Structure 1
Amino acid sequence: MPGVLYLLALLVSLTGMVVLDRRFGLFFWRAPVVAAAVLAIGVAFFLAWDLWGIGAGIFYRGETDFMTGLQLAPELPVEEVFFLTFLCYLFMNALQGVRMLLETRHTP
């Protein structure tokens, strides 16, 4: 069981992002096609960054009992895709949330 704890934590966190998004209409519930494209581009960018860092010898996979041990490429654990998805989704939800707050503050 410990080998999947990090992945489970990421999935729970992603679920939280979906719940917040749905509740407040932040990202996917505002513009699903654009949101899917932005999320895919963001994840692809950071995966490319990771692969560059791995190739340059800067990034490496840390050893822990909390990860599955499955790798998409040398030094690239499967959990990294879920983490990057969470990171991009969190940022887009937060950005849209701030925009919505600022709009409501400036509306008479």
Structure 2
Amino acid sequence: MPGLYLAGLLVSITGVAVLDARYRLFFWRAPWRAATVMAVGLVFFMVWDVAGVALGIFFIGPQDLLTGILLAPDVPLEELFFLVLLCWTTMDLVGFVRPVLERRASAAGRSRS
């Protein structure tokens, strides 16, 4: 069923956005900084993908679930949305883990005093 993979990615991105908004992890904490980090990540990974395609490492496999829209040869539209999900999930994890580690470090520092 064409477009099913894109639909799954959009549902996943929506879930990550809801968690981000609820806990103010990334975009809802610092929108401009988050947009910059996201743009840098997307450009990096799109260049990585195009280089991988040019070297023959990456290619499109079975396309039953893809929309058929290509951003570049062997780079489907879904790849962009996958990279958004990858970057956003990673940054939400950083936004979640950093305060936890900082609290542990400050608690450990207080217990030593």
TM-score (norm 2): 0.90
**C-alpha distance in 1, partners of 2:105/2:57?**
45
Q: Which amino acid in the other structure matches residue 76 of structure 2?
A: P
Alignment length (residue pairs): 107
**C-alpha distance in 1, partners of 2:21/2:99?**
14
Instruction: Give the greater-gyration-radius structure (CA).
Output: 2
What residue is the counterpart of 2:92 in the other structure? 93
Q: Identity of counterpart residues, as a percentage?
A: 50
- After superposition, where does 1:1-108 map in structure 2 within 5 Å? 2-107=1-106
Between stretches 43-52 and 94-103, larger displacement belongs to 94-103
Q: Which amino acid in the other structure matches residue 88 of structure 1?
A: C
* C-alpha displacement of 1:96: 1.0
* C-alpha displacement of 1:64: 2.9
**C-alpha distance in 2, partners of 1:105/1:20?**
23
- Aligned CA-pair RMSD: 1.1
For 1:31-87, what per-residue CA distance to the aligned partner results, in whole angstroms no more than 9, with x for missing partners?
000000000100110000000000111110111311111111110000000000100
Listed as ranges, the gaps of 5+ residues in structure 1 are none
Consecutive aligned runs of 4 or more in structure 1 exceeding 4 Å deviation: none
Listed as ranges, the gaps of 5+ residues in structure 2 are 108-113
